[in-house]
Amino acid sequence: MKTEVLIIGGGVAGLSLALKLARRSVPVIVVEREEGAGHLYKGELLQPKTLQIFERLGFLDRLEADMYPLEAVHTREVGRRREELLHVRMDYSVLPEHAMAAMIPHDRLRELLVKEALACESFQLVRPAVFLDLETSHTARIKYRDELQSISANIIVGADGRGSRIRKKAGITFDIQSYNHDFLTFSFACPPELKEGEMIADEERFLGLFPLPGERVRSVLQIRPGEYKQLKQAGPSAVHEHYLRLEPRLDGYVQTVTEWKEIQLMVPVRETVHRYYRSNLIVIGDAAHSVHPMAGEGMNLAIQDADILGELISWMYQSGKSRDYTWFHWFEDVRKKRVEYISWLSHLFAKMYSPKGRAWQRLRMTAIRSLVNSRSLHDKQMLNISGLGLVPFRAKDGFHLFFRGKRKVLQQHVFTTKDDYPWQVTCGVNSDDN
Ligand SMILES: Cc1cc2nc3c(=O)[nH]c(=O)nc-3n(C[C@H](O)[C@H](O)[C@H](O)COP(=O)(O)OP(=O)(O)OC[C@H]3O[C@@H](n4cnc5c(N)ncnc54)[C@H](O)[C@@H]3O)c2cc1C
């Protein structure tokens, strides 16, 4: 087999990139080891920038029937007698462009991306097929339906997630960081009064609740290392108790999960590559950076990578530069800084919810109150997590812990086309929006 762009991994990163390239008539093959879209939970929150990317691809309409729009996320703190100590609302509507996020089941998103890409002539999906090795930097060896095969390509993209083999073959080094907690996750029937996202914590642990389409809710419960074994032995009823202590409105709903096999363990890891490419080999999504899931950013960073790289590769083909891989520096220039900031922010969230005890909970509550009381900090935070723009927090933001800040005009910090695709401006070439 032969193609122009070979993508190893048909997760959200690989498929979003393939869709963009196929729409621009760049021949692309995706090699994916799973037969179908998979059924594991791997992130379901689409941030506003991701929705904007899908809209520009003309793909958002296809998702609408499967999405649950999310206008805000409530942050709550619960005391020892289950009393509510704090309740604030983080509101997406302050954002200049897309005023909301959305929830979509991960496997459904992948299924729809495949369906959309298959409608393009230049797209080919090879699955179930495992990438084994590189014969040369332009030829991949794969095992497809028990047969060894080779695929030659001009560009090879590693979208093969954590533990990426392409990253290893390219000799791309990375930093890795683990955490002192894990998560349990499962979905169940949603109580009707739960309409927006909820992040609920007491002095012991954290529970996230995010409504899904079809009147279901995704839940994520923080657990201590070693607790998984104990909870598994005790069975789902021990997990229900933690849920009900944090959110009594789940009574009668969470107990519908009766089998341990419905509950998935999630082990957070932070990985950050030192560089994104070597010659014609380039990595995106979790192959380049996995982030702590607390801020719901992993899937979004992956799709945002795909958008920038898709635009760059299409432009390289349109302008006769497809064999000059030094142009990949633009991808790294745009993405590295943004990803590292979001990864740090997700890490900070994780740290806020890691230590136990009443004193730490009080400290966390002070920080959350300050964030929401200062309009400026609230809006900064919403812009940063939305992916639409970036306003780094500065030391002087500490003053807002004591004084209410004014609302800043966010529009000036929203990424422009020039920020997203700077090579188009520098080289004086325009390309279509989809
Ligand atoms: C349990 C879990 C929970 C998560 N929760 C959240 C969350 O709440 N919010 C959030 O935003 N993100 C979350 N994430 C992160 C999010 O899932 C990832 O950031 C996102 O899926 C990255 O997409 P990707 O396409 O880069 O990688 P992946 O989704 O990992 O896709 C990689 C693909 O490559 C394929 N592949 C790998 N190796 C090979 C090979 N050798 N040959 C062929 N195919 C191969 C795999 O089968 C897979 O389909 C979570 C991840 C996990 C694992």
Dihedrals φ, ψ of 207, to 5°?
Answer: -130, 130
Class of the CATH-defined domain 2-178+268-349+414-426: alpha beta
Which residues, at least 6 apart from 335, have a Cβ–Cβ distance to it below 8 Å?
276, 288, 304, 305, 308
Closest Cα to atom 21 of ligand 1 = 299
Q: CB-side exposure of 268: number of CA atoms within 13 Å?
A: 30
How buried is 395 (Cβ within 10 angstroms: 0-12 exposed, 13-18 middle, 19+ buried)? Answer: exposed
**Separation of CA 377 and ligand 1 centre (Å):** 31
pTM assigned to the model: 0.94
- DSSP at 74: E
CA distance 346 to 344: 5
Q: Which residues line ligand 1 (CB under 6 A)?
A: 8-14, 31-34, 41-43, 45, 130-131, 159-161, 165, 266, 285-287, 293, 296-300, 302
Residue 373 confidence (pLDDT): 82
Residue 225 confidence (pLDDT): 81
Picking from 203, 242, 208, the residue whose alpha carbon sits closest to that of residue 355 is 203
Residue 376 confidence (pLDDT): 79
**Separation of CA 288 and ligand 1 centre (Å):** 11
Closest Cα to atom 51 of ligand 1 = 42
CA distance 47 to 211: 15
Residue 2 confidence (pLDDT): 97
Residue 108 confidence (pLDDT): 95
Residue 312 confidence (pLDDT): 98
**Separation of CA 405 and ligand 1 centre (Å):** 39
Q: Which of the listed residues 209, 286, 289 should we mutate to test ligand 1's pocket, taking the one with most ligand atoms within 8 A of CB?
A: 286
Class of the CATH-defined domain 182-266: alpha beta
Residue 263 confidence (pLDDT): 96
Residue 406 confidence (pLDDT): 47
**Mean pLDDT, consecutive 10-residue segments, the chain of 434 residues?**
97 98 98 83 92 95 96 96 94 80 96 97 97 98 96 98 97 95 97 97 97 97 93 96 97 97 95 97 98 95 98 97 97 97 94 95 94 83 91 60 48 88 79 46
Q: Dihedral angle at the C-alpha atoms of 47, 63, 120, 158, nearest 10 degrees?
A: 30
CA distance 309 to 332: 9
Residue 430 confidence (pLDDT): 53
Closest Cα to atom 13 of ligand 1 = 43
Residue 427 confidence (pLDDT): 77
Q: Which of the listed residues 19, 35, 42, 335 should we mutate to test ligand 1's pocket, taking the one with most ligand atoms within 8 A of CB?
A: 42
CB 17 within 8 A of CB 304: no
Residue 198 confidence (pLDDT): 97
Residue 409 confidence (pLDDT): 55
Q: Is 163 helix (H, G, I), strand (E, B) or coil?
A: coil
Parse the chain into domains and list their residue ranges: 2-178+268-349+414-426, 182-266
CA distance 126 to 138: 17
